[in-house]
Amino acid sequence: MTINTQPTAIMLVIGNEVLSGRTKDKNIGWVAEQLTNHGIKLVEARIIMDDHDTIVETIRKLSKEVEYVFTSGGIGPTHDDITTSAVAKAFNVPVLRNEEALRRLKNHYKGTGIELNSARLKMADIPEGALLIDNPVSAAPGFNIENVFVMAGVPKIMQAMLDGILKNIKSGSKMVSISIACKIGEGNLAQELQNIENADDNIEIGCYPWFKSGVIGTNIVVRSLNKDSCQRASIKVKNFIKTFGETPEIIE
Amino acid sequence: MTINTQPTAIMLVIGNEVLSGRTKDKNIGWVAEQLTNHGIKLVEARIIMDDHDTIVETIRKLSKEVEYVFTSGGIGPTHDDITTSAVAKAFNVPVLRNEEALRRLKNHYKGTGIELNSARLKMADIPEGALLIDNPVSAAPGFNIENVFVMAGVPKIMQAMLDGILKNIKSGSKMVSISIACKIGEGNLAQELQNIENADDNIEIGCYPWFKSGVIGTNIVVRSLNKDSCQRASIKVKNFIKTFGETPEIIE
């Protein structure tokens, strides 16, 4: 069952440091949560290497599959920052010195004693035709070309960029969800939850087992684009939990 | 520059709850770190939905691209646990009740008062010909079919399963890395670090900027399969940092 009046998106994290385990990605979870709140459905997330051809091919493929592709990582001043040139290549446009990006960088570094050298100037190089994405933290902008939004990898900067982006793009229907916790193993819930899910095409039910201090339990999440469906199903779930002599607990 | 006497791997996380942002994935970072320590190169990580066709197609494609595919999620007892049937389908084999898995589940639940009902019995259903992966936490096994290792999504269980797997598969050359921190903006380091990297095909240099209490700095990571190359390059990096009047600090 797929219900979808929501734009779809893929998150693409670019960086060897994430795949080596040196850096633990925090951007996917953040983007996932923000998109959900915005009514955009994240259908996949992917982490790839700082490899030019890999980035080019991945951007070309994914940008055709969904409404929005968000990327993080690889737009800084150093030699391993190759995302900008790879994304430009994916859309067959040149990378050009962007006057507005240059103005922002000059303004940012003015009076800091930090030289706007050739490495830093690279951050003013943007694919032709792309729109700048504001960076209120450290000035160097991200950019939007076609349906691809290219953001910094540093979480604080990525989060600020995403805030700006989400104010300007089409949002979708909000997913409503009700989360219910109980001290019952998921194996005892499985069959009836499937029945409840099957009874209404508008809902999805997720089951997440937990173990705390020797106690086994399950969090049940009912999700729907339709508020009434969500509530009806969650009442069924709560009543079912009560048949075990347990008190369902609404969480979050 | 790619140096590779290491087996390659892809990590595949399966679960709507991760893409909705409800659950923050902790498995990719863990697997990344363990594989790096084991000399296996993680070339991609991907998070996909609990969708049967998506899982089938993704497993078919990725299992041809690398030596090992590791998955987490979707092997529990509930209706949204569809990884087992999808992986079986990917390799065109049936799912069968596995006698050894059944024995382990019976043993685990014996005397607990928890019924081994039809939902829980589903966890003894394994693709034909697959080898079981031990689950020392909650008995229900993962499995290995062809080059795909199917693990649980709960981090504690996934970690225990991976421990067992890594004792039994081919490891590769260990990547050696030296991490150096300095209070210099990466924009001042970029050109010379690229020169140092270009001087030796055996090394990779990563640059990771940081901001702490108003101080700007960069962590520089020199990585190589060759210990001597790594040390030679890191000496060059340290000497370069000293030219700024800064003291390089070895971290980790």
Q: Is A93 helix (H, G, I), strand (E, B) or coil?
A: coil
When pLDDT is averaged across residues A200-228 and rounded to a whole number, the result is 90
Beta-carbon separation of B209 and A76 below 8 A? yes
Of B33, B78, B115, the CB nearest to A186: B78
**Residues A108 and A100 sit within 8 Å (Cβ to Cβ):** no
Which among A145, A140, A122 is positioned nearest to A68, based on CA atoms? Answer: A145
CA distance A138 to B100: 58
CA distance B13 to A89: 29
| Structure-block tokens of residue B97 | 């009740």
When pLDDT is averaged across residues B96-106 and rounded to a whole number, the result is 97
Q: Choose the most confident range, by mean pLDDT, from A248-252, B69-73, B172-176.
A: B69-73
When pLDDT is averaged across residues B219-243 and rounded to a whole number, the result is 95
Q: Which residue of B has its CA nearest to A73?
A: B208
Question: Quick one: pLDDT band at residue A1, thresholds 50, 70, 90?
Answer: very low
Beta-carbon separation of B187 and A36 below 8 A? no
**pLDDT, position A171:** 87
**Residues B10 and B69 sit within 8 Å (Cβ to Cβ):** yes
Question: Quick one: pLDDT band at residue B191, thresholds 50, 70, 90?
Answer: very high
What are A17-65's pLDDT values in tens digits? 999 999 999 999 999 999 999 999 999 999 999 999 999 999 999 999 9
Which among A109, A122, A116, A108 is positioned nearest to A76, based on CA atoms? Answer: A122
The secondary structure of B41-59, three-state, reads: EEEEEEEECCCHHHHHHHH
Q: Which of chain A's residues have a Cβ under 8 Å away from the Cβ of B209?
A: 76, 154
The secondary structure of B211-238, three-state, reads: EECCEEEEEEEEEECCHHHHHHHHHHHH
Q: Which residue of A has its CA nearest to B116?
A: A187
| Shortest Cα–Cα distance, B34 to chain A (Å) | 8
| Shortest Cα–Cα distance, B91 to chain A (Å) | 23
| Shortest Cα–Cα distance, A144 to chain B (Å) | 22
Among A6, A27, A33, A47, pick the best mutation site for testing chain B contact (most B Cβ within 10 A).
Answer: A47
**pLDDT, position B114:** 85
Among A78, A138, A210, A211, pick the best mutation site for testing chain B contact (most B Cβ within 10 A).
Answer: A78
Task: Inform me whether the pLDDT recorded for B204 exceeds 50.
Answer: yes
Q: Choose the most confident range, by mean pLDDT, from A52-61, A208-217, B185-194.
A: A52-61
What are B123-167's pLDDT values in tens digits? 999 999 999 999 999 999 999 999 999 999 999 999 999 999 999
Mean confidence (pLDDT) of chain A: 94
Q: Which residue of A has its CA nearest to B140?
A: A187
Which among B134, B144, B57, B67 is positioned nearest to B103, based on CA atoms? Answer: B134
**pLDDT, position A213:** 82
CA distance A231 to B1: 56
Q: How many helices (H) and strands (E) does chain A have?
A: 9, 12
**pLDDT, position B151:** 98
Residues in contact with B101: Cβ distance below 8 Å, sequence separation at least 6, in sequence order: B123, B124, B125, B126, B132, B140, B141
- Global pTM reads 0.91
Among B8, B18, B25, B28, pick the best mutation site for testing chain A contact (most A Cβ within 10 A).
Answer: B28
Q: Which of chain B's residues have a Cβ under 8 Å away from the Cβ of A78?
A: 186-187, 189-190, 193-194, 207
Mean confidence (pLDDT) of chain B: 94
**pLDDT, position A3:** 47
Q: Is A178 helix (H, G, I), strand (E, B) or coil?
A: strand
Of B20, B47, B221, the CB nearest to A44: B47
What are B3-60's pLDDT values in tens digits? 458 999 999 999 999 999 999 999 999 999 999 999 999 999 999 999 999 999 999 9
Beta-carbon separation of A117 and B188 below 8 A? yes
CA distance A30 to A44: 14
Beta-carbon separation of A76 and B119 below 8 A? no
When pLDDT is averaged across residues A123-151 and rounded to a whole number, the result is 97
Residues in contact with B1: Cβ distance below 8 Å, sequence separation at least 6, in sequence order: B197, B201, B204
Beta-carbon separation of B32 and A46 below 8 A? no
β pairing state of A215-224 and A176-182: antiparallel
Note the ipTM here: 0.90
Domains of chain B, with CATH numbers? 8-168 (3.40.980.10), 176-251 (3.30.70.260)
Task: Inform me whether the pLDDT recorded for A4 exceeds 70.
Answer: no
**pLDDT, position B2:** 44
Q: Which residue of A has its CA nearest to B9?
A: A19
